[in-house]
């Protein structure tokens, strides 16, 4: 289904694009990375060879439009499923199987080798960097402060969240960031539970992905929730606590698979495949790249 809801993160006017260029050294210092190179484990491990020879098991969560099981076919579906499958096809991986679990269970499943990759997009956070590695960028979306229609709680900034109980998916980037702020978090296991709890007033606000919120609102008319627009996104939320690029997770020792998958993602971004998938799900080329603007 193509989204008809306008996503705040995709309708922003990008200001300052015609400003005079800064000096090279000033411009270079203004760009940040989410994490540093880590190739110590790249000593010819067998992770890529195993995937090519025996196939790969991907972990996903029931979280449309990213990943889910199609009720009609029982097959994996969603935006991230299509992107990851396109990258694996470029690599020559022929056999793909799926394990479905709550998002909070995907990293433990990866570490226990029940799955070989977290294919539900997963973002860089300090806690995750301690235990897993990440592929190169797949695409981007932003965080959305989401409230009851009319915003009766009067929430207009991230600082305002400190005064309220805030809902978030357990184990998500939003969950980790809110706890780092000292916010009282109400954890949820499923998207539907958190959206329903917000609509019924059991929580005042939730922090969730703008794409996911827009999908829910578009598919559930009169749901009684809305995104707060014009919110300045804290820089550390983007570059430290999980709202940088959507990536995919692999074990730290599987360096060959990580390196190959990173190039594969770059190739399918470069040839237009990722853009085509984004458009299929109601997004645009805006979601290929992060822009430092408010939502």
User: What is the pTM assigned to this prediction?
Assistant: 0.75
Place of tokens 């978030």: 168
pLDDT digits (tens, 9 = 90+) for 47-88: 999 999 999 999 999 989 999 998 889 899 999 999 999 999
Helix (H, G, I), strand (E, B) or coil at 187: strand
Domains 37-140+245-288 and 142-239 equal at CATH topology level: yes
Q: What is the pLDDT of residue 7?
A: 39
Helix (H, G, I), strand (E, B) or coil at 67: strand
Place of tokens 């550390």: 236
80 close to 120: Cβ distance less than 8 angstroms: yes
Is 37-140+245-288 in CATH node 3.40.190.10?
Answer: yes
Is 142-239 in CATH node 3.40.250.10?
Answer: no
Instruction: Kindly state the DSSP code that residue 32 receives in the 8-state scheme.
Output: -
Q: What is the pLDDT of residue 112?
A: 98
Instruction: Kindly state the DSSP code that residue 273 receives in the 8-state scheme.
Output: H
Which pairing describes strands 184-188 and 117-122: parallel, antiparallel, or unpaired?
A: unpaired
Q: What is the pLDDT of residue 136?
A: 95
Q: What is the pLDDT of residue 25?
A: 46
List the 225-227 sheet strands across, edge first: 184-188, 165-169, 205-209, 143-148, 225-227
What are the residue ranges in the chain where pLDDT is below 70? Answer: 1-31, 33, 35, 37-41, 291-295
Q: Domain residue spans in the chain?
A: 37-140+245-288, 142-239
pLDDT digits (tens, 9 = 90+) for 189-214: 999 999 999 999 999 999 999 889 98
């Amino acid at each position: 289904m193509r989204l008809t809801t306008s996503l705040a993160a995709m309708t922003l006017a990008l200001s300052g694009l015609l400003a005079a260029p800064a000096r090279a050294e000033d411009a270079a210092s203004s760009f940040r990375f989410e994490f540093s190179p880590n190739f110590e484990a790249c000593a010819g491990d067998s992770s890529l060879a195993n995937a090519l020879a025996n196939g790969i098991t991907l972990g996903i969560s029931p979280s449309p439009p990213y990943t889910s099981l199609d009720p009609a076919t029982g097959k994996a579906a969603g935006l991230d499923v299509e992107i990851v499958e396109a990258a694996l096809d470029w690599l020559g991986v022929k056999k793909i199987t799926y394990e479905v679990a709550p998002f909070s269970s995907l990293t433990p499943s990866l570490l226990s080798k029940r799955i070989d990759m977290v294919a539900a997009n997963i973002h860089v956070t300090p806690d995750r960097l301690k235990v897993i590695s990440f592929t190169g960028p797949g695409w981007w979306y932003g965080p959305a402060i989401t409230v009851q229609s009319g915003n009766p709680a009067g929430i207009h900034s991230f600082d305002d969240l400190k005064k309220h109980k805030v809902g978030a998916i357990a184990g998500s980037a939003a969950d980790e960031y809110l706890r780092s702020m000292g916010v009282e978090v109400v954890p949820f296991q499923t998207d539907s539970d958190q959206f329903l709890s917000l609509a019924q007033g059991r929580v005042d606000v939730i922090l969730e992905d703008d794409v996911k919120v827009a999908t829910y609102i578009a598919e559930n008319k009169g749901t009684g929730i809305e995104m707060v627009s014009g919110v300045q996104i804290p820089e550390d939320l983007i570059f430290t606590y999980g709202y940088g690029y959507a990536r995919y997770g692999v074990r730290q020792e599987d360096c060959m698979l990580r390196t190959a998958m990173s190039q594969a993602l770059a190739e399918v971004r470069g040839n237009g495949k990722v853009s085509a998938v984004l458009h299929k799900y109601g997004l645009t080329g805006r979601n290929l790249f992060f822009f430092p603007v408010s939502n």
